[in-house]
């Protein structure tokens, strides 16, 4: 049995825990050869898997056999970043006004979900100095994105991510008892059941996604768990790779985190490929797919992946890109930008902040933007 050693503290895990408009003709130039970084040779990862049921399993583990990927890199972080292209900003002639409301006590991405017209948001428990949570996450809800109410529910986990399927809410994180990665689910947001519990102590699941009816969750210690029914889960271990986020297209699924990026084009998610481990890119805080492109966002560099090759773009701000109507959307303190390629951004709206004293807005629609709710109003 291969012993899995965990180097990451919960503090580091929490750090990593978590779009319409007009496009310009410049967007068609994204795949010009002058912008592309040569494709990095893929490495196929051979793994064994274990199917588990609800609750702890036995102590047997899975072995992995990975080949070494050697990537020629520039001599330093600064030289690499300074060699990259930067984004281009443009603006529409007519600018809309959108409104931004910061959901109270929600401090990381992937913590808010909308289902059947209602928003649910995860609230982190108090983490004492010893970095071990003594209580689970709690929930608040809103019918309109402005007025929020306590659900008086304490979950059996410290949750890092929540999604909604047609039938259930699913949340992932780490169990209170034993600090093991787990998956919980609920029909109504009030009553929750644990459907997966890792056999490894000090593990943590960072993100969960629903792809064509199959659920996938990833963790900080190289864990990938997959289920086709939400009850029976298959475990895959990539012990050397920290995984924090998930995105997918019709033909490919990408998980990323740390410096690594794994991909599968297998609908059953059995065969995986190591795509990129450029150690000058420190972490992937977000992972998106829109308009035929994967966007992997770090603190200083954004990786653009079209399914074959990569382009690196210098990141000059700490904005939070999201997908909005199959485009990438970015918001700073005052402006809203949209892009089809993450290279050329067009300003489409200005932002007005609303606070807890605002109880109603005359708007057309709303959507989740990280830890905020954005309300849109067309001209």
What does the angle CA 345 – CA 346 – CA 350 come to, to the nearest 5 degrees?
A: 120
**Any domain includes 3:** no
pLDDT tens string for the chain (379 positions)? 333 333 333 333 333 344 333 333 333 222 222 222 333 333 333 333 334 333 333 333 333 333 333 334 444 556 666 667 778 889 988 899 999 999 999 988 889 999 999 999 999 987 666 666 788 999 999 999 999 999 999 999 999 999 999 999 999 999 988 789 999 999 999 999 999 999 887 788 999 999 989 999 999 888 899 999 999 999 988 777 788 999 999 999 999 887 778 899 988 898 888 886 665 566 777 889 999 999 988 877 888 999 988 888 887 665 678 999 999 999 988 899 999 998 899 999 999 999 888 889 999 999 999 999 999 987 6
- Give the whole-angstrom CA distance, residue 290 versus residue 305: 11
Q: Is 251 helix (H, G, I), strand (E, B) or coil?
A: coil
Q: Is 111 helix (H, G, I), strand (E, B) or coil?
A: coil
Residue 286: the pLDDT is: 85
**Any domain includes 313:** yes
| Non-local CB neighbours of 236 within 8 Å, separated by 6+ positions | 47, 49, 62, 223, 224, 225, 226, 272
Residue 76: the pLDDT is: 54
Residue 130: the pLDDT is: 60
- Give the whole-angstrom CA distance, residue 137 versus residue 105: 11
Residue 33: the pLDDT is: 24
Residue 38: the pLDDT is: 30
**Any domain includes 369:** yes
Residue 170: the pLDDT is: 98
**Any domain includes 70:** no
**Any domain includes 358:** yes
> How many independent structural domains does the chain possess?
1
Radius of gyration of the chain (CA): 21
For 251-364, where are the E strands, in sequence order? 253-257, 260-264, 272-276, 286-290, 293-297, 301-305, 310-314, 322-324, 327-331, 335-339, 344-354
- Give the whole-angstrom CA distance, residue 376 versus residue 145: 12
Residue 333: the pLDDT is: 82
**Any domain includes 120:** yes
Whole domain around residue 221: which residue ranges?
18-55+80-376
pTM: 0.78
Q: List alpha helices for the chain, DSSP H.
A: 10-16, 77-82
Residue 177: the pLDDT is: 80
CATH of the domain at 351: 2.130.10.10
- Give the whole-angstrom CA distance, residue 330 versus residue 98: 13
Measured in whole angstroms, the distance separating CA 113 from the mean position of its chain's CA atoms is 13
**Any domain includes 188:** yes
**Any domain includes 65:** no
């Amino acid at each position: 049995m291969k012993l899995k050693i965990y180097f990451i503290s919960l503090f580091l895990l929490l750090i990593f825990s978590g779009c319409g408009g007009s496009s310009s003709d410049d967007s068609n130039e994204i795949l010009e050869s002058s912008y592309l970084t040569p494709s990095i040779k893929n490495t196929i990862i051979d793994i064994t898997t274990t199917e588990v049921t609800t609750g702890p399993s036995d102590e047997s583990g899975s072995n992995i056999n990975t080949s070494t990927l050697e990537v020629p890199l520039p001599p330093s972080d600064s030289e690499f970043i300074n060699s990259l292209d930067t984004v281009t900003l443009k603006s529409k002639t007519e600018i809309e006004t959108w409104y931004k409301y910061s959901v109270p006590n929600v401090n990381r991405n992937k913590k808010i979900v909308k289902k059947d017209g209602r928003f649910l948001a995860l609230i982190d428990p108090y983490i004492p100095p010893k970095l071990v949570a003594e209580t689970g996450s709690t929930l608040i809800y809103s019918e309109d994105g402005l007025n929020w109410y306590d659900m008086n529910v304490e979950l059996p986990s410290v949750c890092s991510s929540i999604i909604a399927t047609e039938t259930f809410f699913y949340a992932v994180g780490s169990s209170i008892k034993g600090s093991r990665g787990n998956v919980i689910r609920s029909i109504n947001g009030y009553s929750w059941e644990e459907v997966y519990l890792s056999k490894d102590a000090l593990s943590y699941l960072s993100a969960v996604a629903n792809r064509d009816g199959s659920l996938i969750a990833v963790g900080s210690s190289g864990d990938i768990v997959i289920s086709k029914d939400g009850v029976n889960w298959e475990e895959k271990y990539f012990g050397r790779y920290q995984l924090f986020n998930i995105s997918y297209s019709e033909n490919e699924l990408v998980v990323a985190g740390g410096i690594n990026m794994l991909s599968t084009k297998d609908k059953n998610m059995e065969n995986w490929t190591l795509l990129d481990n450029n150690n000058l890119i420190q972490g992937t805080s977000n992972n998106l797919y829109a308009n035929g492109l994967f966007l992997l966002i770090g603190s200083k560099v954004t990786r653009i992946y079209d399914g074959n090759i990569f382009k690196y773009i210098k990141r000059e701000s700490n904005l939070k890109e999201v997908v909005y109507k199959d485009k990438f959307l970015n918001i700073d303190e005052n402006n809203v930008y949209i892009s089809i390629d993450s290279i050329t951004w067009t300003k489409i709206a200005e932002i007005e902040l609303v606070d807890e004293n605002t109880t109603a807005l005359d708007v057309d629609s709303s959507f989740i933007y990280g830890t905020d709710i954005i309300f849109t109003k067309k001209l």
